[in-house]
Amino acid sequence: MDRRGPNVSTVVASWTMAIWQGLARTVRAAILIEEVRPYRPEAYYMRGPGPKWREKHARARGSSPR
């Protein structure tokens, strides 16, 4: 029996399996991240004017006569 090394089809099959396993790992990790960190809309909405807005409007308010 002549042993020349691994068969080409075996190498291709192992590469294909490695690619599919990597893809499955990536998809599984993405799903788990979404389950661990649910969407919280309150973390993304503005809660009111910030310090820059207050500074700008305090100057405008102080200079106008009442």
pLDDT tens digits in sequence order for the chain, 66 residues long: 556 767 888 999 999 999 999 999 999 888 877 667 777 777 777 777 888 888 888 887 765 554
* Cα–Cα distance for residue pair 12/6, rounded to 1 Å: 10
Which residue, chain included where needed, has tokens 């690619």? 19
* Cα–Cα distance for residue pair 66/19, rounded to 1 Å: 72
Written as one letter, the residue type at 19 is I
Q: What is the pTM of this model?
A: 0.42
Q: Where are the domains of the chain?
A: 8-63
Q: What is the pLDDT of residue 64?
A: 52
